[in-house]
Amino acid sequence: MTLRVLVVEGNLRAPREQHRAEWGMTPSEAYADLLGRMAPGLQADIAFPADEGWNGPSAGSLEAYDGAVLTGSALHVWQGGPEVMRQIELMRALYRAKVPAFGSCWGIQIGAAAAGGTVIRNPKGREIGFARDIALTEAGLAHPLLQGRPRAFTAPAIHLDVVAAPPANATILASNRLTPMQAAEIAHEGGTFWGVQYHPEFSLAELAVLLRRVAPLMIEEGFAPDRPSVAAYADDLDTLHADRGRSDLAWRLGLDEQVLDDDLRTLEIRNFLERQVKPGASRRGRA
């Protein structure tokens, strides 16, 4: 089965090129690579709606996609601006075109804002490194997005913003102490969006890159006393990424197979492909 998926990059050019310099790929390129490994032969097209001068696809061209995936971003929905509104309008077009979409972190915020939800700076503070004790709701226990997850789990996360007021047709599937909407399904104008506030796409090594990048912020907000402390934490993540058998590091970092096993860590993305993208492609005769 040949699948065609639109990967929507949430960042402006400078942040995504910084990510490429530090990680080897932009966030959208990394997402496309992951999707290709999950579904060999998948065709991923990348869109850059944050960029000035970007011309959005027509509704007819969107309908040619079997699915769409929205990456994270360094932007803030609540700050507004054309770079944010272009992404919200693209998500609205995806809803209208009935293209199933998935988003992580910034992605779920755009999915919610496009359907009438409200995104704010979290008054409880930032989640950084890992979101702990993500608990499935009763709806989440039965939902295919989270099929295979336990009732509570840990996942990679870096975010300050949260969906404070979900859209009218949103079903909250998971939450935790800091974030009321950690996972959700949103139905809007005939389309369906599945999203998570955490980052199932981040390996421990990519997360380590990001933590080193935001070390000044972590120190300012009290997550670490100094740069060497952040570097040591990131180094432990790199070591554990290379050797999953380091149970001493897993214990010290409070991580289990839900993060250490790549198939389990990326489960929501695979569930999206298997339960939303592939069935839709079959129905449209793209199989």
Catalytically active residues, by annotation: 105, 199, 201
Helix (H) or strand (E) holding 32: helix 27-38
Q: How far is 268 from 147, CA to CA, in rounded Å?
A: 8
DSSP-assigned states of every residue in 101-128: EEEETHHHHHHHHHTT-EEEE-TT--EE
**154, 132 in Cβ contact below 8 A?**
yes
Dihedral, 8, 93, 49, 5 alpha carbons, nearest 10: 20
d(Cα 16, Cα 33) in Å, to the nearest integer? 15
**Which residue(s) pair with 165 in the sheet?**
118
Is the Cβ–Cβ distance between 243 and 273 less than 8 Å? no
Backbone angles phi and psi of 244, in degrees to 5: -70, -10
For 187, phi and psi rounded to 5 degrees? -105, 130
* Cα distance between residue 93 and residue 27, in whole Å: 22
Residues 274 and 194 sit within 8 Å (Cβ to Cβ): no
CA dist., res. 34 & res. 108, Å (int):
19
238 and 204 in contact (C-beta within 8 Å)?
yes
What is the rounded distance in angstroms from the CA atom of residue 176 to the CA atom of residue 193? 21
